[in-house]
Chain A
Amino acid sequence: MLFGYPLEVWTTQLFIGLVNGCILILVAQGLSIVFGLMGIINFAHGIFYMLGAYVGWLTVQLTGNFWLSLLVAPAVVGGVGVFVEIGVLRRIYGTKNANFAGVLVTYGLAIMIPDVVRMIFGRPGKPFAVPKLLTGSLFTLGATEIGGYRVFIIAITAALLPLLWLLLNRTNLGMVIRAGTSDNTMVQLLGINVARTWTTTYALGAALAAFAGVITAPLVAVAPEMGGLILIECFIVTVVGGMGSFVGPIAGGLLIGEVLALTGMVYDVFADVVIYLLMAVVLLVRPRGLFGQEGVSEE
């Protein structure tokens, strides 16, 4: 027994925290990459997560194939990301107070697009079932039945992260993204088409968020406001983990996921403030975040 709960209940909570952490990692990675390269605090990131869930739902409705939705949603929402970057964000680069303008523009999109979704899809939520292959419990942890779908989320995140690492560390695109994160001006001076890189990066961030949206959809309420809810947690994840680094969102996501799960059990009324306190402590002790690059988020 620990704090009045048997160890098996603690194990269950740790597992639940791990699953939630995986979702946070996927969304926060995109947020971190976009901020690291483009310097944009992207308030529109949550809408890509929400759009991913909606595109996934639509794909399942049209084809009956959940697995296809895992490909279609990131592709479609990545396309939306391209449109947003070229059609909206590109107009503010290099302008006076571009960072502030970026916040305002993406915040405006975060307000506008959920209403557009409401106009198109009507209802406040869409039913999205767990795929048949993964329904039911896979094993029992303590008194808790662990569904196959939760295990799938951990597995798919574990598979995706190395691929993302390879993309960022072993490809030319990744090299440009990492170089741009360190010194954007120098990259431009080397004659690299930064505009295309920025578009690709923004689309990649959107696609990651959409992927997280579609894998989360069977577990939560698919609703236009779902993006706003996760965005706050993901901002905290990136601040705690550190902006612009690959490991930062992973560490931050796991930490926040576990803290939320364990606080929910030990002291539930504290659950909605504990992550803010954690962020405040990290900012006081290490302003760049646990794994943040020097200078990226300290300015």
Chain B
Amino acid sequence: MMRVTRRHLLKGVAVTAGFGAAADFPFVNRLALGDQPIKLGALYPFTGPMALEAQEMLAATQIAVEDVNASGGVLGRKVELLTRDSEFKPEVMKRKSMELVEVEKCPFLVGALVGFEGIALAEVSCKNEVVVGFYGQNFLTVKGKMCKYQYGTNVTPYQTAASAARFVHQQGFGKKWHMLANNYSWPQMIERALSIVAKQVGAEWTGVTWAPLGTRDFLPFLPKAAAVKADVIFVVTWAADQVACAKQIQEFGLRKQAQVIHGVTELTFAEAAGKGVYEGTYSGMPWYWQLKDKYPGAKAYYDKHVAKRKRAPSGYAASTYGTVRVLLDSAKEAKSLDTEKVIRAIEGRKFQYLKGPEYIRACDHVNIQEVFLCKGKAASAMKDEWDYFEIVQAVGGEESAESCESEGFDPKKRLSDQA
């Protein structure tokens, strides 16, 4: 058995201290890593029904990485983007994100567009202790527990619902509220939030008309929703379902019977539905390209995006840009690629990229941000091919976010100290 002398002990302490110090000094990292780029893994569903949105997200990720590299990179190293097609399948998402972590040694991942992709990504994040920036709206838990290494910049279902509901209340559209929605977890979360806010503002909540996910014709469900004789109908659908629903609402004449509010929409959906289909309805949007006229950051991003994609950026693109920038700027600030240090730099981080001031709330990693209520334009009022909406009102982030206590978190603690 080897005898441990005082000299051995001192050597050990010195080596450990040296490695520890090196991690905190970028120039030492640079020397050690030979100016190797930092790999950022991005996983989007380039195959499948959300392929266009995936391309928008890729463009946004590329622009964010280019912007960070142009300002000196992270820890003095360039950021290299590695992209993978998650194929809109959770098992593919899991396999490819594992490959990015284990083979490519990516310290960070961004991606996932919908809940089931996000859950797969969250599993990899938790298991491998890798920071993950997730696009989707849902809170993601792994085996019932929130993963402290993930964060998102998109609006949560509660924010989506509360911003629309508060807008309706302020505008005085009426006190009797109903909801028409696809029947799955995301609208169910919005239903909960809407019913809470209805109670808070003294509105009558009449419940939901549910349509199965993948409904191509909502007309069988519209008479039931209309029969409630509500003043306001919140429509919570997404992608092709929303396009079909918007067209059939117009055909059915529901807009004449109630004020229709799409909980959240996207420029791409309005394009697919056609000019004038959203006329007279209001929609929540976390970002809309007309913000370029208000914020210089949005204008700069808009110009780069149009140059790259030959089309106005979608909300997907804007949220993705924020997700990537938050991650890389936090690593810059932390002066480290260490997961714990980076996630702590993300917690409470204040930033302003493409709209007004935002921050990642420390207790739950939710992005506190303003949501824009936009009114659909008539076809004759459109000034160009992307001019489907006008921004009517911005609802502040604090007004529309659910409290940490209500979500089951301690508001005084960081999520990384309690998850």
A105: interface (CB < 8 Å): no
The answer to whether B221 and A264 touch across the interface, beta carbons within 8 angstroms, is: yes
The answer to whether B226 and A223 touch across the interface, beta carbons within 8 angstroms, is: no
Min C-beta distance of B25 to chain A, whole Å: 48
Given contacts A122-B52, A221-B247, contact A268 B271 (CB under 8 A): no
| Contact flags A255-269 to B (C-beta < 8 A → 1, else 0) | 000001111110011
A245: interface (CB < 8 Å): no
The answer to whether A219 and B247 touch across the interface, beta carbons within 8 angstroms, is: yes
A132: interface (CB < 8 Å): no
B147: interface (CB < 8 Å): no
The answer to whether B226 and A143 touch across the interface, beta carbons within 8 angstroms, is: yes
In the complex, chain A residues whose CB is within 8 Å of the CB of B223: 9, 12-13, 16, 142-144, 265
Q: Which of B106-114, B205-213, B281-289 contacts A (4 or more CB under 8 A)?
A: B205-213
In the complex, chain B residues whose CB is within 8 Å of the CB of A298: none
The answer to whether A127 and B273 touch across the interface, beta carbons within 8 angstroms, is: yes
B72: interface (CB < 8 Å): no
The answer to whether A224 and B49 touch across the interface, beta carbons within 8 angstroms, is: yes
A235 CA / B206 CA spacing, docked (Å): 36
Question: Which A residue's beta carbon lies closest to that of B242?
Answer: A221
In the complex, chain B residues whose CB is within 8 Å of the CB of A13: 220, 223
A210 CA / B295 CA spacing, docked (Å): 47
In the complex, chain B residues whose CB is within 8 Å of the CB of A145: 252-253
Given contacts A226-B216, A268-B211, contact A221 B243 (CB under 8 A): yes
- Interface residue ranges of B52-76 to A (CB < 8 Å): 52-53
Residue with the highest number of chain A CB atoms closer than 10 Å, among B49, B52, B251, B274: B251
| Contact flags A100-123 to B (C-beta < 8 A → 1, else 0) | 000000000000000100100011
Interface range on chain B: under 10, 10 to 19, 20 to 34, or 35 or more?
A: 35 or more
> Which of B209, B212, B257 contacts A272 (CB under 8 A)?
B212
In the complex, chain A residues whose CB is within 8 Å of the CB of B224: 5, 9, 264-265, 268
- Interface residue ranges of A237-286 to B (CB < 8 Å): 260-265, 268-269, 271-272
Question: Which A residue's beta carbon lies closest to that of B52?
Answer: A124
Min C-beta distance of A7 to chain B, whole Å: 12
Given contacts A124-B240, A220-B244, contact A9 B216 (CB under 8 A): no
B268: interface (CB < 8 Å): yes
Min C-beta distance of B114 to chain A, whole Å: 14
The answer to whether A220 and B247 touch across the interface, beta carbons within 8 angstroms, is: yes
A180: interface (CB < 8 Å): no
In the complex, chain B residues whose CB is within 8 Å of the CB of A199: none
A129: interface (CB < 8 Å): yes
The answer to whether B220 and A223 touch across the interface, beta carbons within 8 angstroms, is: no
In the complex, chain B residues whose CB is within 8 Å of the CB of A219: 217, 244, 247-248, 251
Min C-beta distance of A90 to chain B, whole Å: 29
The answer to whether A226 and B210 touch across the interface, beta carbons within 8 angstroms, is: no
B50: interface (CB < 8 Å): yes
The answer to whether A123 and B52 touch across the interface, beta carbons within 8 angstroms, is: yes
In the complex, chain B residues whose CB is within 8 Å of the CB of A271: 210-212, 220-221
B227: interface (CB < 8 Å): yes
The answer to whether B183 and A124 touch across the interface, beta carbons within 8 angstroms, is: no
> Which of B222, B240, B257 contacts A125 (CB under 8 A)?
B240
A82 CA / B12 CA spacing, docked (Å): 77
Residue with the highest number of chain A CB atoms closer than 10 Å, among B209, B214, B221, B248: B221
The answer to whether A125 and B272 touch across the interface, beta carbons within 8 angstroms, is: yes
Interface size on A, residues (CB 8 A): 49
Given contacts A147-B251, A229-B214, A265-B224, contact A123 B273 (CB under 8 A): no
Min C-beta distance of B127 to chain A, whole Å: 31
In the complex, chain A residues whose CB is within 8 Å of the CB of B214: 229
A237 CA / B400 CA spacing, docked (Å): 45
- Interface residue ranges of B170-201 to A (CB < 8 Å): 183
A224 CA / B241 CA spacing, docked (Å): 13
The answer to whether B220 and A261 touch across the interface, beta carbons within 8 angstroms, is: yes
A263 CA / B52 CA spacing, docked (Å): 34
In the complex, chain A residues whose CB is within 8 Å of the CB of B53: 124
Given contacts A144-B223, A264-B224, A268-B209, contact A221 B251 (CB under 8 A): no
The answer to whether B226 and A127 touch across the interface, beta carbons within 8 angstroms, is: no
A125 CA / B240 CA spacing, docked (Å): 7
| Contact flags B238-265 to A (C-beta < 8 A → 1, else 0) | 0111011001100111000100000000
Question: Which B residue's beta carbon lies closest to that of A17?
Answer: B220
Given contacts A124-B268, A220-B247, contact A226 B240 (CB under 8 A): yes
Min C-beta distance of B419 to chain A, whole Å: 33
B92: interface (CB < 8 Å): no
Min C-beta distance of B309 to chain A, whole Å: 11
A123 CA / B53 CA spacing, docked (Å): 9
In the complex, chain A residues whose CB is within 8 Å of the CB of B128: none
The answer to whether A124 and B247 touch across the interface, beta carbons within 8 angstroms, is: no
Residue with the highest number of chain A CB atoms closer than 10 Å, among B53, B227, B275: B227
The answer to whether A225 and B49 touch across the interface, beta carbons within 8 angstroms, is: yes
Min C-beta distance of B361 to chain A, whole Å: 32
> Which of A128, A137, A220, A262 contacts B216 (CB under 8 A)?
A220
In the complex, chain A residues whose CB is within 8 Å of the CB of B275: 127
Given contacts A16-B220, A144-B223, A145-B253, contact A125 B247 (CB under 8 A): no
The answer to whether B244 and A221 touch across the interface, beta carbons within 8 angstroms, is: yes
Question: Which B residue's beta carbon lies closest to that of A263?
Answer: B220
Given contacts A16-B220, A264-B211, A272-B212, contact A221 B240 (CB under 8 A): yes
A130 CA / B274 CA spacing, docked (Å): 11
A5 CA / B209 CA spacing, docked (Å): 14
The answer to whether B217 and A20 touch across the interface, beta carbons within 8 angstroms, is: yes
B47: interface (CB < 8 Å): yes
In the complex, chain A residues whose CB is within 8 Å of the CB of B220: 13, 16-17, 20, 260-265, 271
- Other than the given A126-B272, A223-B240, 13 more pairs (CB < 8 A) read A17-B220, A123-B52, A124-B52, A127-B275, A127-B277, A128-B274, A137-B253, A144-B223, A144-B252, A220-B244, A221-B272, A229-B214, A229-B216
- Can you list 8 A-B contacts (CB < 8 A)? A19-B219, A122-B52, A124-B49, A124-B53, A144-B252, A223-B243, A265-B224, A272-B183
